[in-house]
Structure 1
């Protein structure tokens, strides 16, 4: 009988010990929260964890002085592994005459293309409150809808865009982020190439509840002629899963573009 009680006790200790081990939550990799700009957003959160997902839908209005353009997009991003994110985006653009420019020849309405992107966060430093990542965006550019109706090729070109991202939290509330890289565009019609350099610098104040206000600066350098757009913005969370961002675009380089505005809805399933 004593041996029976001893055996039962050993079995009980073994089973409870195994249960305690299986109940232990796996240690997740370090992830720092960084404010993400609303216009040129990231492919996935810096330091993203496997299984994270996000759906974004946006709409914008742009004053091009000679006409008005209406743009929009839908994008889905997800982390296939810790710190490795993927994204697919479909942007579109439509055009309308300004009241005093009715005879102006409008560009063709178009689904701009399909963007496929990946991003890997290679550094997350708690000591320096800094995250860094590299990524790549491949965009296949559609011909305009009217050209496709006239038997033009479906794709008129492609764009190659490697990127580098570095973000630092100067304080728990003040966040900075740099997003930069060359954009190399190839036209299939005449096999011409065009290269620009994009530099996007961001500064945000993040409130305790995660809402933020900030300034995004988009700079494009092409053929020695820089273009600068300032984009003041804010983001408000309406629930745990849904946030809305609103921003304006203010050109600061005297080019042909006017004021613009955009809103972005962010849903985390």
Structure 2
């Protein structure tokens, strides 16, 4: 029996750091999610706060089908119009530094309903908790992956978020999103994460974004989260 106990998979014993999820480019459950964890949430973003019909929003459901592995289904809307169908997969590779660091990979597949085209992205994720209050999450990868070299394909994706746990249930942070391709988007969003009930949280952010062919403009967002 002792020999059998020693053969328990290491992954089941791994301790992952508790790192908040970025508000805009969120994860499909935390890297250390356990099998059976589930969540529904919805993000709404706008650059025109006085024109609510111009808001982009996306309800989604996330489910950990195995320890450290999760799947996500998302429906991105532009106003009342369903723009795309989105599928995401995520896998954790493990933790290190006595459970302070963790890394993994995230895949996103998007079907554009207007053009009928399918695109995908792949990102490597690396997070670290510096102390009981400070932590960060980094994601870097490629968008619209393709073997052919064409304008806008294989564009850089970079997402960085730094968080400070101010009080139990309250986290403040700043998120930086960079996307290459034709649009070349850069967005910086200070944000507040507030747990309002046992399994309910609200994330809100206000920042600025800059596209290649547009002037900088405000970017406002809110995400409602309900763990199941």
Query: What TM-score results when the alignment is normalised by the length of structure 1?
Result: 0.71
| Kept in 2: contact 1:29–1:49 (CA 8 A) | no
Could you say which residue in structure 1 is the equivalent of 2:76? 91
Q: Which runs of 4+ in 1 moved over 4 A?
A: 252-255
Q: Tell me what 2:119 maps to.
A: 159
- Once the two structures are TM-superposed, the CA of residue 172 in structure 1 deviates from its matched residue by 1.4
5+ residue gaps in structure 2? 1-11
Matches within 5 A, 1:1-269: 29-63=14-48, 69-94=54-79, 110-125=81-96, 127=98, 129-143=100-114, 155-184=115-144, 194-222=153-181, 226-251=184-209, 255-256=213-214, 258-269=217-228
* Residues 1:30 and 1:177: Cα distance change in structure 2 (over 3 Å): same
1:97-154: CA deviations, max 9, x gaps?
Answer: xxxxxxxxxxxx63121111111101122526001011211111111xxxxxxxxxxx
Task: Point out the structure with the larger helix share.
Answer: 1
**C-alpha RMSD of matched pairs (Å):** 2.6
d(CA) in 2 for partners of 1:128 and 1:31?
5
Question: Gapped runs of 5+ residues in structure 1?
Answer: 1-26, 95-108, 144-154
Structure of greater Rg: 1
- Does 254-263 or 83-92 show the bigger shift? 254-263
* 8 Å Cα contact 1:159/1:185 also seen in 2: yes
Contact 2:156 2:181 in 1 (8 A): yes
| Structure 2 CA distance for partners of 1:50 and 1:29, relative to 1, 3 Å | farther
1:156 alignment partner, SS class: coil
Per the TM alignment, residue 207 of structure 1 is displaced from its structure 2 partner at its CA by 3.1
